[in-house]
């Protein structure tokens, strides 16, 4: 059994939205297909994955560095001990040959797209959903369970208004979501507080609304916003400052009693160890948002969870960033606290297909083989183009 081909295409994100730091109008994502020599129903078994949302496509790194190393490896070098499945860790080792440690950058997302495709192809070889393959691999119960989910939106739209924000969140509520996240830091504090009050009209209470500054603030600004929002009892205050400024995060959590969330821009387990040791994160309070699609894949992500738990944190404090099907299966398979959803932005990748049965603030992964990306109608044409 071997990998015969690795294909990728860059898919542009739809929509023109901005947070406090970047516009997503130029962002794209790598959609990757990993083709094997196993043939079923007249077609080769092929794994599908992508490198998550919020960075850029990684075609150059994949085609010139990562893929050639994997394709040059001896087939047995990439297989699990039973030789019936591929070993994600061994594939990553081949992909990272001659790469220096640290300085992760965009290669972390490139390797992640490839590694996640290995999990997809293994689940397809077993003819089961990815959450089952993930749970079994990590010695956890294999069960289809609902995953708590929140709808992320509330971006800064061109010609946006508070009525548009209200309508957006009402639409998500009608879809079955009961918790929401919105952006802050892209305008004045006064205007953001008005936007938060508008969102609270839909959410109903502070514990159903999170706010995200996307690392926009220095420590003084972070404290200013914290003082303003503290009386609202919000679900969490996300990435107030630079994600690697652990000292500032620690100073903020020392004075802000309600949850702080961060981690989506940490790409390795040593980064997470530094966060838990120096970032002031609090067991049973704060939220970790690392994303396997941005950080070398599920193997590295699982190591991040191990680091958290070794330092007294609970995996239920982990809510992966990304808002897509791959992280839904990871959250279900690893028994995490929940996950994000992008039901109204970042198509064709954001959100879940109708078969996932969203309702009462939870979402159910389907029993489609692998991550079930083909079930997402917005993504299906791009998958067809990739496999043509």
For the annotated catalytic residues, the residue numbers are 183, 321
- CA 181 centroid distance within chain: 15
Q: Name which of 226, 312, 304 is nearest 266 in CA terms.
A: 304
User: CB under 8 Å to 134, separation ≥6 — which residues?
Assistant: 119, 298, 329, 330, 332, 333, 334
Q: Specify the pairing of strand 43-50 against strand 28-40.
A: antiparallel
Tokens representing 40 are 């079923």
Instruction: Give the distance, in angstroms, between the CA of residue 142 and the centroid of all CA atoms in the same chain.
Output: 22
26: left (phi over 0), alpha (psi -120 to 50) or beta: alpha
Strand 237-238 and strand 147-152: the pairing is unpaired
Other CB atoms within a 10 A radius of the CB of residue 232 amount to 17
Q: Following CA atoms 301, 94, 74, 5 in sequence, which dihedral angle do they give, to the nearest 10 degrees?
A: 80
Q: What is the dihedral of CA 141, 146, 147, 152, to 10 degrees?
A: 160
């Amino acid at each position: 059994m071997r990998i015969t081909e690795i294909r990728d295409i860059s898919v542009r994100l739809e929509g023109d939205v901005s947070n406090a730091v970047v516009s997503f109008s130029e962002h794209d994502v790598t959609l990757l297909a990993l083709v094997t020599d196993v043939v079923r129903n007249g077609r080769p078994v092929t794994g599908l994955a992508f490198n998550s949302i919020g960075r850029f496509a990684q075609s150059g790194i994949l085609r010139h560095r990562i893929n050639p190393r994997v394709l040059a490896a001896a087939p047995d070098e990439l297989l699990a001990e039973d030789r019936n499945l591929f070993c994600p860790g061994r594939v990553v080792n081949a992909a990272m040959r001659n790469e220096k440690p640290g300085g992760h950058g965009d290669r972390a997302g490139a390797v992640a797209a490839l590694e996640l495709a290995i999990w997809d192809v293994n689940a397809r070889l077993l003819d089961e959903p990815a959450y089952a393959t993930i749970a079994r691999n990590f010695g956890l119960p294999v069960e289809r369970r609902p995953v708590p989910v929140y709808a992320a939106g509330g971006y800064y739209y061109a010609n946006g208004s508070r009525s548009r924000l209200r309508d957006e969140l009402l639409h998500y509520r009608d879809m079955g979501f009961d918790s929401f996240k919105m952006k802050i830091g892209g305008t004045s504090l006064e205007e953001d507080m008005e936007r938060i009050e508008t969102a609270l009209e839909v959410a109903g209470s502070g514990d159903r609304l999170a706010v995200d500054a996307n690392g926009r603030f220095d420590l003084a600004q972070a404290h200013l916003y914290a003082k303003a929002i503290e009386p609202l009892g919000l679900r969490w205050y996300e990435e107030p400052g630079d994600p690697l400024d652990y000292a500032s995060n620690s100073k903020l959590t020392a004075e802000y009693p309600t949850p702080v969330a961060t981690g989506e821009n940490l790409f390795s387990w040593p980064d997470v160890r530094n966060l838990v040791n120096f970032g002031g994160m609090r067991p049973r309070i704060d939220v970790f948002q690392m994303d396997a699609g941005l950080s070398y894949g599920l193997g590295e992500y699982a190591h991040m969870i191990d680091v958290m738990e070794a330092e007294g944190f609970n995996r239920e404090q982990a809510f992966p960033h990304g808002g897509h099907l791959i992280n839904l299966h990871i959250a279900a398979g690893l028994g995490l606290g929940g996950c994000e959803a992008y039901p109204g932005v970042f198509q064709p990748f954001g959100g879940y297909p109708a078969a996932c049965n969203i309702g009462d603030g939870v979402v159910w992964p389907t029993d489609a083989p692998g991550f079930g990306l083909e079930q997402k109608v917005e993504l299906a044409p791009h998958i067809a183009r990739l496999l043509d």
